[in-house]
Each structure stands twice: as structure tokens, then as C-alpha cells.
Chains A and B, each alone.
Chain A
Amino acid sequence: MTEWLHHLLILPILVPLAVAAALVPLNERERALKGSIGFVSTLVVFLIAMILMGLAAAGEDSLPGSGVYQLGNWPAPFGIVLVLDRLSALMLCLASGLALAAQVYSTARWHTAGHHFHSLIQLLLAGLNGAFLTGDLFNLFVFFEMMLAASYGLLLHGSGPLRVKAGLHYIAINLAASSLFLIGVSLIYGTTGTLNMADLATKLAALPPESRMLVETGAALLGIAFLVKAGMWPLGFWLPTAYAAATPPAAAVFAILTKVGIYVILRLHLLVFGAAAGASAGFGQSWLLAGGVATIAFGAIGVLASQAMGRLAGYSVLVSSGTLLAAIGLGHEEMLAGALFYLVSSTLTIAAFFLLIELVERGRDAAADVLAVTMEAYGDFDEGEEEEEVGVAIPRTMAVLGLCFSLCAVLLSGLPPLSGFVAKFALLKGLFEIPAADPARALTAADWTYVTLIILSGLAAMIAMNRIGIRTFWASIEGTIPRVVIIEITPVVILLAACLFLSFHPAPAMRYMQETVGDLLTPSLYSERVLSAPRAGDR
């Protein structure tokens, strides 16, 4: 039984990878079949992720093989390991949940806009899951590249000059960032002789001063690669354009791509540069803080300046990244649980918003034109086929869309009573809470800047959403009422329902986040778990 459970750990990578390969040779005309296979696969991954999260929540002892999966049965640090803990289980759930929503949404019309949509989603999911599970730096690079390669395809899905231009910039920037990633990884290997994150954490404290500088350089280069992904100012100018150009289901999944950068920074920062790191403890923290604060400010201004909803959503992604980066950079341990809660809530909200935008804008002529141009530019494989709309149109379309839109607005601006407010409240409560262990801690200027910016960014989101909402739902009657089918609105409703659930039952989620932070703040336990995991035969 435990043997079988142990192999659950690698299934979130293997299942989507195998399904992606299997879907490629299937004829594009079999879209319904491809869609259902992809849906089943993502559903399986989602269920596995839920089981893994349940196991992780119950504690390390209940995890099969104490949560460490040794590939090829080589023990760490010699082999590559997959490590399951509460944080990675949480991210697995979030990633597969978003992929599920995007996939259901796409089956209404968007997966017809290009080839291999379902394969690309599966590959993206495999790369994401791998990046969340791996405990090895170079393996992280490989999964990262896999995820990026799939995301290039997804961004270009639907084609058209706008997407190709955005894709060109996106690919060029990510390729340059990947070079920095490789330089960073090899510098760390060259000085410490290990690529295993757990082993690196134990070796760092004992490093001689002359190689410490090189390791820190390597870590900084690595950090830049992830900060590009997370969209930190000034590395994130590409993000709003690329996300606004992507097709809605692709953009919804991209909401988690920035969080991969945040995830890796959170993990490596606390694991490698925790209190046990000697002279390197807290390395780069002030940069994260400054960058995060600048990102919130830039994102908030961008939100205010956006005329189109797609760009507004893109800048909201930046605000969310900045809030998280600055929360990590402030270094108050009490804030981290709130930060994780914010991560989940904001990712779900932004994904729902990206899906909603296209439905709302469909009524406008401009948006319909874009779609028409897309279809035309894409080519003729669709010729002769009626543009089929699967499913039944929903009644009272504008009322439903308006309700979803206002929920998104409340969530994005962090107004009570929804989870956006709960998350920001938890963040600020952690900031103002003076811990018993350190009664002398006073609030610094950085803390106050952070509080001000969080509140101002909420205000900016509220103003912008109000303006766009009034223009779309109240002012204009010249647009036709969009025809929205049930399977398009369902994923939006489910994502928003997840946020509502988090709003009204935050206690279990918050407890989970607090336990996660407890894990993250004791990196020695993580290292010991990885390095002393038994091999499969020895059990």
C-alpha cells in the first residue's frame, strides 16, 4: 500500500507528459475527444494533488517515504529527488485547478483557434508540477524550460500579429533569463559541489569567505531569472502586453506562471538563506523588498492607466507579485502565512478575471473583430466547418457577467468580506503583530511604506474596476449582448466560488498556511528529511 502511495509523487509529472504525447498524433478534427482526454488527465492530476495535499497536511510521518521520491533509486545528494511538502502540495493543487478551469473554458470555442491546445496545456502542467516538486536545482531548470516552452506555444495559440509580436518579446526575454539561470546554477555547483537544494542548505554555513561571494553571485543571478518570471519591476515590462495578447484560457493558466517565480524565491530564500546560513543569512532580502515595493507602485499606476481590461488584469498580476515579493523581503515571519493565503486568493481571482474578460468583451464589436481576424489569419483548416458553439447559452447573460465582474472587482481591490480582504488583513496583521520572541521590534519606514502601498493599490484597483465596469455594463447599449454558453461561465463561477469558500471558511486554509510556514522556517528538518530518506530497497 505504501509502495503504491509512494509512486503518487511522480504521477503529477508523468500523467500530463504521457497524455500530451498521446494527444499529438490525434487528428485536430477530433477536438471533442482530445478535449475530454485532456480534461480527464487534468482531473486525475487534480485529484492526486488533493490526495497529496491531504497526506502532506497530516504531517511528514504519514507521507510515503517521508515525502521524498528518489528517481532511479539514487539517494540524495547524488540522485535527483522529488520532495513533497505542504508548500509544493498546495502549488500542485493550485496549478492543476487552474489548468482544469482553462481546459473546460477552452472547449467552448478557443481550442479551435489553433493546433495542439490540449497537448500544450498538459505539457505546461507537467512542467509546472515538476518545478514545484523537484529538489534539485538543475532539474528545476529542465522543468522550468519545459513549462516555458509550452507557454510559448500557448501564448502564440490563435496566432495573429499582436500575439506573434508579444510572443517574440516574451521568448527573447525568457531565453536571456534562462542563460542567467544556467550561469547561476553552474556558479553554485562550481563553488559548493552540489545541486541538491537540501544539501546546499547544509553546506552553505561552512563555506570559506572567498567562495561565499561566488555562491551569493550565483544565487543573485538565479534570483534575477525568477524575478523576470515573477515580473518584478524593472524586469516585468513584458508582462502586461504578453498576458493581454494571450487567448483567455492561456492567460488564465499564465496567472500561475508568475507564482512559480515567487514559489522558487520563497523556497530557496527560506531554505538556503535562512537563519542557519551563517554570514549569508537573509541574503538579497533588501533587494526583494525594494523591488517588490516598486512593483506594487508600478502595477498600481498601470492598473489606473489601463483602458482595456486585458491590460488591467496584466497589471493586477504585477501588483500581486509585488505584494508577495515585498512580503518576503520584509522578513517578518508572522506575515508569511498571510502571504501564502494572498497567493492562492489572488491567483484564483486573476485567473477568473482573465476568463471573464473575453466573455464580457465579446459583446463589443472590437473584440469580435479581433477574434474574426484571428480566425482568418490562422488559416483554413476550419473551412467548411460551422463555427460550432458547444452547449447551451445562459439566460440573463449580462446579469450573470455583471455579478461575476463585481465579485472580481471586490476580490481584486481587497474589499471586505471576500478573500482578497481576508488575505490583506492577514498580511497586515502579521506586520503589526509584535512577536513575543522579539518584543523590541518596532515598525520601520519600510513597513509603513508597504502598508500604504497595499492600501493604495487596492484603491487603484477599485477605481479602475469601477470605471471599466460602468463603461461596460451601465453606459453602453450599442454592443450586442454576448452569447455565453454554460461551459464557459462554469469555470469562472467555480474559480470565484473557491474564493468565496476561502472568504467564509478561511480557518482551515489559514491553519494549513501556518503549518506550511512552520515547515519553511525550519529548513534543517527539510534537509534532514531529504538527505536521510531511505532507498526503496532498504525499507
Chain B
Amino acid sequence: MELILSAGIGALTASGVYLLLRPRTYQVIIGLSLLSYAVNLFIFGMGRLRVNAPPIVEPGGGGDLARYTDPLPQALVLTAIVIGFAMTALFLVVILASRGFTGTDHVDGREQRGD
């Protein structure tokens, strides 16, 4: 399970960084999204991977911490997802504005030789 998760995070990060460095705004935003998915999974992984362990105390379940997983990273992921989503939406608006002003989807607002 650990191997699959870490490989997944690695693949997402690698594709995210590659796309982030590309010259088209659409590629940049997809790259940023992939990067934020990778980061969210990474935060989740920092609470350690546990199977069949709920993050909240069940009624009557008692206070035995060994039966539960760490709830804090899950709360952090939730916050990070919300913030990341809002920022992506905002970035999308700026991309559209840029497209409208310059008529191209190049990040520098003009086509360059060799792209």
C-alpha cells in the first residue's frame, strides 16, 4: 500500500512539475492541479496509512487511541483542498482574461519562435 501511494504521489508530482514548466497556460493550470493532488495525498500520508481505523471516536468505543487513526492530517487535507480549489478557480479566471487581452494562450502573452 505504501509503495502504491508513494509511486502515485511521485507520478503526480513529476507530471505536475513537467506541465508547470510548459509554455501554455492550460498546461500550467493542469500542472498546478496535479501538483496540488500530489500534495494532498502527501499530507494524508503523513498521518500514516492505517486500514479499518476511523478518525473519529465512536460512541461507546472508548478512548483506546490504538483503534483510531490520526484525524489531524485529514482535517489539514480538507483545508488544503478547499484553498487549492479556490486558487485554481481564480487562476482560471486570470488565464481567460489573459487570453482575452493577448489573443494567445502563451504564458508570456505572445508567441515565441521555436514553441
Contacts and interface: CB of A to CB of B under 8 A. Distances in A.
B53 interface: no
A178 B83 CA distance: 10
A160 B90 CA distance: 17
Contacts of A178: 83, 87
B107 A182 contact: no
Contact of A161 (B35, B39, B95, B102): B102
Q: Size band of the A side of the interface?
A: 20 to 34
Interface in B6-37: 20, 25, 28, 32, 35-36
Interface in A445-492: none
B109 A172 contact: no
Contact of B39 (A138, A145, A169, A183): A183
B86 to A, nearest CB: 7
A503 B42 CA distance: 50
B79 A138 contact: yes
A189 interface: yes
Given A149-B90, A172-B91, A179 B35 contact: yes
Contact of B83 (A145, A172, A186): A145
Contacts, number: 83
A416 interface: no
A167 B94 contact: yes
A176 B39 CA distance: 11
A175 B109 CA distance: 20
A149 B86 contact: yes
Contacts of A175: 32, 36, 87, 91
A165 B109 contact: yes
B72 interface: yes
A182 B109 contact: no
Interface in B56-115: 72-73, 76, 79-80, 83, 86-87, 90-91, 94-95, 97-98, 101-102, 107-109
B46 interface: yes
A536 interface: no
Nearest to A152: B90
A149 B98 CA distance: 18
Contacts of A159: 97
B32 A168 contact: no
B42 A171 contact: no
Given A138-B76, A168-B95, A187-B46, A161 B87 contact: no
A182 B87 contact: no
A165 B109 CA distance: 7
Nearest to B99: A164
Q: Size band of the B side of the interface?
A: 20 to 34
A156 interface: yes
Interface string A374-398: 0001000000000000000000000
A171 B90 contact: yes
B39 to A, nearest CB: 5
A190 interface: yes
A190 B98 contact: no
A187 B102 CA distance: 41
Nearest to B93: A156
Given A142-B83, A186-B76, A172 B28 contact: yes
Given A168-B107, A190-B46, A182 B32 contact: no
Contacts of B48: 190
A166 to B, nearest CB: 10
A235 to B, nearest CB: 15
Nearest to A155: B94
Contacts of B28: 172
Contact of B98 (A138, A152, A164): A164
Nearest to A188: B46
A161 B73 contact: no
Given A168-B95, A171-B90, A172-B32, A189 B46 contact: yes
A440 to B, nearest CB: 44
B39 A179 contact: yes
B22 to A, nearest CB: 11
Contacts of B91: 171-172, 175
A186 B107 contact: no
A142 B43 CA distance: 15
Contacts of A164: 94, 97-98, 101
**Most B-side CB within 10 Å, residue of A159, A171, A182:** A182
Contact of B72 (A142, A161, A172, A189): A189
Contacts of A189: 46, 72-73, 76
B16 to A, nearest CB: 8
A217 to B, nearest CB: 12
A169 B73 CA distance: 30
A134 to B, nearest CB: 14
Contacts of B97: 156, 159, 164
Nearest to A182: B39
Nearest to B87: A175
16 contacts: A138-B79, A142-B83, A145-B83, A145-B87, A160-B101, A161-B102, A171-B87, A171-B94, A172-B107, A175-B91, A176-B32, A176-B35, A182-B43, A186-B42, A189-B46, A377-B101
Interface of A: 138, 142, 145, 149, 152, 156, 159-161, 164-165, 167-169, 171-172, 175-176, 178-179, 182-183, 185-187, 189-190, 195, 377
Interface of B: 20, 25, 28, 32, 35-36, 38-39, 42-43, 45-48, 72-73, 76, 79-80, 83, 86-87, 90-91, 94-95, 97-98, 101-102, 107-109
Given A179-B32, A189-B46, 7 more contacts: A159-B97, A164-B94, A165-B98, A175-B87, A178-B87, A179-B38, A190-B47
